[in-house]
Each structure stands twice: as structure tokens, then as C-alpha cells.
């Protein structure tokens, strides 16, 4: 059974230490949520919010990225560079997580989520054939609604992509997501939009609650989540 602190640092060779939300009490293998933070953000914050959204049931793996060069060290703020570097870091973090907890990590078909810059980079990762393990479900928050041209939508669907949830705290995000949904739905991908109202460019608070309310829908095609005891009900 997994014990210890709910959030733990995970050394990743060649990169900064990731942060992991540990499914405390787990006796069997649990699926993984990969969470990319935004620009001028912290992996700890993503893991905290996503632990709450998912009731601590899956692993939540939050890659660190690189320091923001224009921020004082005391601010502890991070960003990512290119999709290629993020791909390397995510692969390394998944391998490190599996090596550290081999009896409890099911790294197949992780759920992907990204906020702002993390969501923008996520579009590239989700469509690339060699970037991530097969991703069935993704949450793109306040970003990731641009760049879904036909070839990318086709590639995501061909790799098993089935559900995408766009999460927004601004009207511009909601409007853009509605347009992008059409391109994904043409490829057979189910799309929903979670709105936290007009509260700004954020991923916590009402936006996180809106995601939580659709968590059961997002993971409904994945039998590994069927035993999640307190999964939030799907939105009507």
C-alpha cells in the first residue's frame, strides 16, 4: 500500500525534479495524469489542483520545465521551451515514475492535461505519433484551442484519441474552443467545454470545479477509472 506525503519530488535524469501526486492507499496499479503547467507557473500548483479534481485516485505527474530567466530565484517560477524538449522531459518523467513505483504505476494511455502554455504545447504532443504513449482523453485549459488543423485532428484520432475537454475562465477561450470542437468532432473525437465563468486566465477555483464535474465523462471510456470511489458525476 502506498504511504507517505501526498506530493513528492521525483528526480528526472537530465531535467529538473518533477512533482508527483501519489495515490495514497493504493494497493494495485493506478493510471497516470500528465499535467503541464503554464508560463510563469509551478508544477506543485498543478499537482495540488489536479489531486483535488481527481480525488487523489490516479498518479498526477507534473514535469518541472526550466526556470523563468526573468523571475527572481525567490519567486520559483517555471516555463517550458519547445515541444521537442517537453516530449523528452515527459518521457523521462514517466520512465522515472515507473521505475520508482513499478508495482503501482500503469503508464499506458495516460490522461493529458495542460494549462495555457502547457495546453498549447499539448496540441503538438497529442498529435505527434512518437511523443507520448497513446492518449485517449485530454483536458486543455485556457489554451490548446488553436493549431488543431485537419492533419493534427486526424492524427490524434488515429492514435486512439477519443475525448477532449476544453476548460475556460474567459469568453474568448469558450468561443475559440467551440470552433475547434468542430474540427475534432469531424474525426470522431467527443468534445465538451467546461466553463468557470468569466473569472480570468486561471485553472483553479470555478474552472477546476467545472473540470471536476466532467471528470467521469472524460474518463468514462477507460475501465481503469471505474473503481474510483468518489468520482464526480458527469455533467447532464
Residue 65 has pLDDT above 60, yes or no: yes
Q: pLDDT tens, 148-170?
A: 999 999 999 999 999 999 999 99
Paired strand residues for 141: 115, 167
Tell me, what's the pLDDT at 230? 56
29 conformational bin, left if phi > 0, alpha if psi -120 to 50, beta if neither: beta
Other CB atoms within 10 A of residue 229 CB = 6
pLDDT score recorded for residue 37: 98
pLDDT in tens, 176-217: 999 999 999 999 999 999 999 999 999 999 999 999 999 999
Q: What is the mean pLDDT of residues 34-57?
A: 97
Which domains, from first to last, does the chain contain? 7-225 (3.40.50.1820)
CA neighbor of 164 nearest in space, from 227, 213, 92, 217: 217
pLDDT of residue 207: 98
Is it the case that residue 85 has pLDDT exceeding 60? yes
Average pLDDT value for the chain: 94
Residue 236 pLDDT exceeds 60: no
Provide Rg for the chain, Cα atoms. 16
Mean pLDDT confidence for 33-57: 97
Amino acid at each position: 500500500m502506498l504511504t507517505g506525503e501526498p506530493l513528492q519530488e521525483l528526480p528526472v535524469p537530465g531535467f529538473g525534479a518533477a512533482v508527483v501526486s501519489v495515490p495514497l492507499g493504493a494497493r494495485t496499479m493506478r493510471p497516470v495524469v500528465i499535467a503541464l503547467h503554464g508560463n510563469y507557473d509551478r508544477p506543485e500548483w498543478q499537482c495540488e489542483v489536479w489531486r483535488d479534481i481527481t480525488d487523489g485516485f490516479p498518479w498526477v505527474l507534473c514535469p518541472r520545465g526550466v526556470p523563468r530567466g526573468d523571475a527572481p530565484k525567490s519567486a520559483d517560477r517555471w516555463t517550458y521551451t519547445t515541444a521537442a524538449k517537453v516530449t523528452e522531459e515527459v518521457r523521462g518523467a514517466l520512465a522515472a515514475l515507473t521505475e520508482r513505483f513499478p508495482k503501482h504505476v500503469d503508464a499506458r494511455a495516460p490522461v493529458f492535461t495542460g494549462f495555457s502554455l502547457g495546453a498549447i504545447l499539448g496540441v503538438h504532443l497529442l498529435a505527434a505519433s512518437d511523443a507520448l504513449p497513446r492518449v485517449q482523453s485530454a483536458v486543455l485549459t485556457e489554451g490548446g484551442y488553436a493549431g488543431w488543423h485537419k492533419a493534427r485532428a486526424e492524427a490524434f484520432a488515429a492514435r486512439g484519441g477519443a475525448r477532449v475537454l476544453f476548460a475556460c475562465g474567459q469568453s474568448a477561450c469558450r468561443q475559440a474552443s467551440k470552433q475547434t470542437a468542430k474540427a475534432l468532432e469531424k474525426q470522431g473525437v467527443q468534445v465538451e467545454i467546461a466553463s468557470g465563468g468569466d473569472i480570468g486566465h486561471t485553472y483553479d477555483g470555478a474552472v477546476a470545479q467545472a473540470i471536476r464535474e466532467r471528470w467521469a465523462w472524460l474518463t468514462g471510456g477507460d475501465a481503469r477509472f471505474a473503481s474510483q470511489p468518489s468520482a464526480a458525476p458527469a455533467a447532464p
